[in-house]
């Protein structure tokens, strides 16, 4: 995506007459008003994104509220060692990885399939209805979504258990059983976001020129072949980029939903890195330790992103940069 | 034009649907209908449960239509002061948050969309870095705390005042819709960049403003995490945090504390009313989203399409 912009720029540079180089001051003066446009954003982003980055050194210091960040004692890698040695190291990382890989495997292909089916669907009006309805859950807030999950699966009044009773089975306390937790987490995610995630593929599909389809039809291609040989290859670049992006965030499973679906009985599978960071930092007030775990998480994500991006570049020629 | 259409129609008729296609169409139809039902039924069920008799809901009688129509759940919600306060707070937070978001995002996106802007590259890199690397929860919290923003609404929207994704969407829009030539023409007539932005560029960009308002607005309305971090004063809780206390924390408390048979029966009755109230609560909290949903759908999709040109 950025590549294209670059190409355009270099083309423009080639065809414009080289101007005399201006001094930095002249350039700044010319663009003064545009720089002014950027200033509010730059200041706010600097305060709330870059100063916290500087504050990461808390991970290497023993935080002392009185002395402040800079006055706190330097302890080096102490907190990283502590995290590596704690029983939570293996369990939180494993939970996070399983949850996100499971989620990725399930929720990556389903929107693509939905978009392909919708695109080849003949009844335009019915298609519109399906799209409108499947997008809707995306706008339900996480809190309401989790409230729905807990109520639906409740052992006393939940509709799922009522249904099981109707079939003559014993009611199951889904939220208290750690066997089910991951499935609940992932499949409710699929329910909520599949429709919305398919929009981007649908947009890419509607960009395919209809002549391609017509030509293939004239040559006797079946609908399945149209999908296999025209539709699928043409959304592959979009899919690759999205896959890279989601691999980059493989260790950053969202805090919001996991935290709301946690209870003491399923904690062994539901404690993920982000919820652990929150509990350590905000509830136990172990500021430095929490920062260290957070930093560890960010670094792993960054490395993952770079590796996957390289791999995708080698394999398919699509990459983020 | 007319001729072309009829030729196309003829072509369509000539390429007959073979048997494989008929099977394919039928299978597609069935799959999509099943998907539609799976998505729609839970939503529909919440709606009918919210207007049904509490005991009918919990005994599982309510399946296809409301039973024992009552608005008890809704009146219970309106009696609840915390919910109403949260609702008002959320409206204020959402409106202010969106205004701040727009005030920061639009000018930045506009400046970055100008090809001859000397800051294009450095500023883009400045924002790209924040996409991949960040300070994390605690350092950000400490910054907010040191600025004395805890328990104020500023803490909710200043830290995330510019979403890089939304900014890129807006930039792409400006790039393709507000041409450099337009500015040059205005410049000759003595227009400055600032004036051009407010008097010409913004009025031409209503579509992108609508998209940003909706993207940011939905985000603010639905988020609870930043409030969980930064707001501890119950009076200032946004709706989602109030909802969390009612929908999630309460549920656990009620189902755990039932020990004797009598207590369990009493609790169950109370719980039944609570449950119906919860369904009503879900609906009421989603009303703002429902009200603008038809509007949203058109623009959200447009926004994704603008974004997908880049991504």
pLDDT digits (tens, 9 = 90+) for A142-186: 999 999 998 888 887 778 888 888 888 888 888 888 889 999 999
Name A307's Cβ contacts closer than 8 Å, sequence gap at least 6.
none
| Nearest Cα residue in chain B from A218 | B15
Contacts of A52 in chain B (CB under 8 A): 134-136, 139-140, 142-143
Residue B10 pLDDT class (50, 70, 90 cuts): low
Q: Measuring CA to CA, which residue among A176, A295, A318 is closest to residue A247? A: A318
In contact, B60 and A159? CB cutoff 8 Å: yes
Contacts of B308 in chain A (CB under 8 A): 200, 203-204, 238
| Alpha-carbon distance B135 to nearest alpha carbon in chain A (angstroms) | 4
Name A115's Cβ contacts closer than 8 Å, sequence gap at least 6.
A198, A199, A201, A202, A205, A235
Q: Measuring CA to CA, which residue among B136, B124, B126 is closest to residue A300? A: B136
Structural domains in chain A, sorted by start? 76-316 (1.10.3720.10)
Of B45 and A15, the structure prediction assigns the larger pLDDT to B45
Q: Looking at residue B251, what is its pLDDT?
A: 47
Residue B276 pLDDT class (50, 70, 90 cuts): confident
Q: Three-state DSSP class for A226?
A: helix
Pick among 1.20.1740.10, 1.10.3720.10, 3.10.129.10, 3.30.1050.10: CATH of B75-241+279-310? 1.10.3720.10
pLDDT digits (tens, 9 = 90+) for B76-102: 888 888 899 999 999 999 999 999 999
Main-chain dihedrals φ then ψ at residue A226, nearest 5 degrees:
-60, -45
- Given an 8 Å threshold on Cβ–Cβ distance, is B58 in contact with A156? yes
Q: Is the pLDDT of residue B223 over 80?
A: yes
| Alpha-carbon distance B19 to nearest alpha carbon in chain A (angstroms) | 9
Q: What residues of chain A, 74 to 113, have a C-beta less than 8 Å from chain B?
A: none
Q: Looking at residue B160, what is its pLDDT?
A: 86
Give me the long-range contacts of A299-308 (CB less than 8 A, separation at least 24).
Answer: A300/A251, A301/A248, A301/A249, A301/A250, A301/A251, A301/A252, A301/B132, A302/A248, A302/B132, A302/B133, A304/A247, A304/A248, A304/A250, A304/A251, A305/A244, A305/A247, A305/A248, A305/A249, A305/B132, A308/A243, A308/A244, A308/A247, A308/A248
* Interface check A135 vs B, CB under 8 A: yes
Q: Looking at residue B13, what is its pLDDT?
A: 52
Q: Based on C-alpha coordinates, what's the Rg of chain B?
A: 26
* Interface check A204 vs B, CB under 8 A: yes
Angstrom distance (rounded) from CA A283 to CA A243? 35
| Alpha-carbon distance B220 to nearest alpha carbon in chain A (angstroms) | 10
Angstrom distance (rounded) from CA B36 to CA A195? 10
- In A120-231, which residue ranges form alpha helices assigned H by DSSP? 124-135, 142-152, 159-166, 178-206, 210-218, 223-226
Name B62's Cβ contacts closer than 8 Å, sequence gap at least 6.
B45, B48, B49, B52, B56
Contacts of B197 in chain A (CB under 8 A): 37
Residue in B28, B142, B248 closest to A121 by CB = B28
* Interface check B305 vs A, CB under 8 A: yes
> Which segment of A242-251, B70-79, B297-306 scores lowest on mean pLDDT?
B297-306
Q: Secondary structure of B48-115 in the HEC alphabet? A: HHHCCCHHHHHCCCCCCCCCCCCCHHHHHHHHCHHHHHHHHHHHHHHHHHHHHHHHHHHHHHHHHHCC
Q: Looking at residue A315, what is its pLDDT?
A: 77
Mean pLDDT of chain B: 84
Residue A110 pLDDT class (50, 70, 90 cuts): very high
In contact, B55 and B72? CB cutoff 8 Å: no
Average pLDDT over residues A33-40: 91
- Given an 8 Å threshold on Cβ–Cβ distance, is B134 in contact with A34? no
| Alpha-carbon distance B301 to nearest alpha carbon in chain A (angstroms) | 7
* Interface check A237 vs B, CB under 8 A: no
Structure letter (DSSP) for residue B200: I
* Interface check A275 vs B, CB under 8 A: no
- Given an 8 Å threshold on Cβ–Cβ distance, is A47 in contact with B118? no
* Interface check A139 vs B, CB under 8 A: yes
Angstrom distance (rounded) from CA A238 to CA A256? 27
Tokens for A104, please give them.
């990725």
Q: Is the pLDDT of residue B196 over 50?
A: yes
- Given an 8 Å threshold on Cβ–Cβ distance, is B251 in contact with A154? yes
Tokens for A178, please give them.
């750690």
Angstrom distance (rounded) from CA A103 to CA A237? 21
| Alpha-carbon distance A147 to nearest alpha carbon in chain B (angstroms) | 5
**CA distance to A134, A164, A302, B248, per residue, from B57 (Å):** 25, 15, 48, 19
Mean pLDDT of chain A: 84
Q: Measuring CA to CA, which residue among A243, A248, A200, A241 is closest to residue A108? A: A243
| Alpha-carbon distance B82 to nearest alpha carbon in chain A (angstroms) | 16
Within 10 angstroms of residue B152's Cβ, the number of other Cβ atoms is 15
Angstrom distance (rounded) from CA A124 to CA A66? 66
Q: Is the pLDDT of residue A46 over 90?
A: yes
Main-chain dihedrals φ then ψ at residue B282, nearest 5 degrees:
-60, -40
Name B139's Cβ contacts closer than 8 Å, sequence gap at least 6.
A51, A52, A53, A54, A55, A56, A58, A291
Angstrom distance (rounded) from CA B219 to CA A78? 38
Angstrom distance (rounded) from CA B252 to CA B263? 16
| Alpha-carbon distance B39 to nearest alpha carbon in chain A (angstroms) | 6
* Interface check B71 vs A, CB under 8 A: no
In contact, B77 and B277? CB cutoff 8 Å: yes
* Interface check B257 vs A, CB under 8 A: no
Name A184's Cβ contacts closer than 8 Å, sequence gap at least 6.
A149, A153, A174, A175, A261
Q: What residues of chain B, 86 to 105, have a C-beta less than 8 Å from chain A?
A: 103-105
Angstrom distance (rounded) from CA B201 to CA B179? 10
Q: Looking at residue B311, what is its pLDDT?
A: 40
Q: Looking at residue B101, what is its pLDDT?
A: 95
pTM of the predicted structure, to 2 decimals: 0.84
Average pLDDT over residues A236-257: 80
Q: Looking at residue B1, what is its pLDDT?
A: 47
């Amino acid at each position: 995506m950025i590549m294209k912009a670059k190409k355009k720029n270099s083309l423009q540079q080639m065809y414009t007459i080289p101007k005399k180089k201006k001094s930095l001051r002249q350039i700044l003066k010319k663009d003064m008003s545009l720089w002014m446009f950027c200033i509010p954003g730059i200041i706010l982003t600097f305060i709330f994104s870059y100063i916290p980055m500087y504050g990461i050194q808390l991970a290497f210091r023993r935080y002392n509220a009185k002395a402040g960040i800079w006055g706190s004692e330097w302890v080096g890698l102490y907190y990283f060692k502590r995290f590596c040695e704690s029983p939570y190291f293996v369990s939180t990382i494993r939970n996070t990885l399983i949850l996100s890989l499971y989620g990725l495997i399930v929720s990556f292909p389903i929107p693509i399939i939905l978009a392909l089916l919708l695109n080849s669907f003949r009844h335009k009006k019915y298609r519109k209805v399906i799209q409108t309805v499947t997008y809707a859950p995306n706008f339900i807030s996480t809190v309401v979504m989790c409230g729905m999950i807990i109520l639906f699966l409740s052992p006393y009044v939940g509709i799922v258990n009522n249904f099981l009773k109707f079939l003559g089975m014993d009611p199951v306390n889904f939220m208290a059983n750690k066997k089910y937790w991951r499935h609940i987490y992932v499949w409710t995610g699929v329910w909520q976001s599949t429709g919305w995630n398919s929009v981007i593929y649908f947009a890419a599909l509607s960009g395919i020129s209809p002549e391609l389809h017509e030509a293939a039809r004239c040559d006797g291609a079946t609908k399945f072949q149209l999908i296999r040989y025209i539709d699928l290859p043409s959304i592959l670049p979009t899919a690759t980029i999205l896959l890279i992006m989601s691999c980059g965030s493989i260790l950053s499973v969202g805090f919001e939903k996991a935290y709301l679906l946690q209870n003491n009985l399923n904690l062994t599978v539901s404690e993920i890195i982000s919820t652990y960071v929150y509990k350590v930092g905000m509830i136990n007030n172990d500021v430095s330790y929490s920062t260290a775990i957070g930093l560890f998480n960010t670094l792993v994500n960054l490395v993952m992103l770079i590796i996957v991006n390289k791999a995708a570049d080698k394999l398919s020629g699509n990459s983020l940069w | 034009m007319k001729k072309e259409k009829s030729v196309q129609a003829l072509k369509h008729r000539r390429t007959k649907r073979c048997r494989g296609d008929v099977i394919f169409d039928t299978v597609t139809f069935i799959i999509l209908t099943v998907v539609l039902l799976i998505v729609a039924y839970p939503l529909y069920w919440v709606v009918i449960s919210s207007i049904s008799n509490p005991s009918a809901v919990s005994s599982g009688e309510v399946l296809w239509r409301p039973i024992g129509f009552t608005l008890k759940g809704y009146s219970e919600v309106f009696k609840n002061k915390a919910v109403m306060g949260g609702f008002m707070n959320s409206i204020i937070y959402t409106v202010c948050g969106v205004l701040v978001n727009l005030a920061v995002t639009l000018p930045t996106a506009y400046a970055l969309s100008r090809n001859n802007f000397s800051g294009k590259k450095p500023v883009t890199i400045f924002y790209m870095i924040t996409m991949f690397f960040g300070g994390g929860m605690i350092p950000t919290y400490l910054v907010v705390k040191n600025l004395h923003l805890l328990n104020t609404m500023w803490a909710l929207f200043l830290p995330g005042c510019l979403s890089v994704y939304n900014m890129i969407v807006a930039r792409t829009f400006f790039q393709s819709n507000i041409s450099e030539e337009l500015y040059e023409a205005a410049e000759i007539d003595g227009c400055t960049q600032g004036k051009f932005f407010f008097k010409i560029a913004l009025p031409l960009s209503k579509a992108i403003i609508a998209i940003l308002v909706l993207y940011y607005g939905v985000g603010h309305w639905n988020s609870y995490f930043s409030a969980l971090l930064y707001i501890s004063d119950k009076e200032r809780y946004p709706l989602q945090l109030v909802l969390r206390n009612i929908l999630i924390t309460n549920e656990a408390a009620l189902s755990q504390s039932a020990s004797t048979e009598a207590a369990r029966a009493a609790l169950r009755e109370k719980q039944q009313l609570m449950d119906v109230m919860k369904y009503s609560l879900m609906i009421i909290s989603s009303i703002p989203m429902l009200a603008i949903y038809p509007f949203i759908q058109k623009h959200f999709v447009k926004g994704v399409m603008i974004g997908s040109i880049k991504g």
